[in-house]
Amino acid sequence: QVQLVESGGGLVKPGGSLRLSCAASGFTFSDYYMIWIRQAPGKGLEWVSYISSSSSYTNYADSVKGRFTISRDNAKNSLYLQMNSLRAEDTALYYCARGYCSGGSCYGSAGYWGQGTLVTVSS
Amino acid sequence: EIVMTQSPATLSVSPGERATLSCRASQSVSSNLAWYQQKPGQPPRLLIYDASTRATGIPARFSGSGSGTEFTLTISSLQSEDFAVYYCQQYNNWPGWTFGQGTKVEIK
């Protein structure tokens, strides 16, 4: 079965950096686009970043553009999010998610999610 | 940026009743819309994609409709496990997504 396990969250001071990881299993990782989505405590969902299956295309929310970098290692079945210049407003639970595909087509929706890793930015 | 607005913020419904949730886009997203359910302490679960297609394993009591800027998620007969927060999400400008702010369905 599909499993996504995030790690790397923690407490960091404003201006600091963190690298999140997501270990994927139960599917052919290199066949799917991947996404990071975050949820601030008690708030709604915010899409953060996208990476295509071959890493040829990435995209970012305006709120993180220039500060966050998404990457993947298909040989290691792993997804990453390098977060620099962190701000208090980046405090959130960060989810790794896989795109939803059915009948040979993939759709712009997140079909599988990890449990998330908590990032807290505070002095 | 496409803004997604959900209404109402909270919906109080009795078990067995129908629930109707709305989602409006600030500009047309065609049928590129998904719905998710989130329960406390859990990640969201995909219910509907392409505005009206149920994801794998989703019960038939969940249905989606609409296109353009107006969308509806209907739960035909609420079960106890359906009390949760529901989010809509557009992917018309994929791979840039936006979510609505959520509708909480609570027990009346």
Q: Do B98 and A47 touch (CB under 8 A)?
A: yes
Q: Is the pLDDT of residue B51 over 80?
A: yes
CA angle B11, A40, B28 (to 5 degrees): 60
Confidence class for position A101, pLDDT limits 50, 70, 90 = confident
Q: Please report residues of A whose CB lies closer than 8 A to that of B101.
A: 44
DSSP-derived secondary structure for A9-56: -EEE-TT--EEEEEEEESS-GGGS-EEEEEE-TTS-EEEEEEE-TTSS
Residue A30 pLDDT: 95
Task: Find the closest chain B residue to A38 by CA distance.
Answer: B43
How is residue B55 annotated by DSSP? P
- Residue A104, chain B, CB below 8 Å: the answer is no
Residue A107 has pLDDT above 90, yes or no: no
Does the distance separating the beta carbons of A46 and B46 come in below 8 Å? no
CB contact under 8 A, A45 and B50: no
pLDDT reported for residue A105 = 87
Query: What's residue A103's pLDDT?
Result: 84
- pLDDT tens-digit profile of A11-23? 999 999 999 999 9
Q: What is the pLDDT of residues B26-38, one digit of tens each?
A: 999 999 999 999 9
What pLDDT shows up at residue B96? 82
Distance CA A107, CA A19 (A): 27
Residue B65 has pLDDT above 90, yes or no: yes
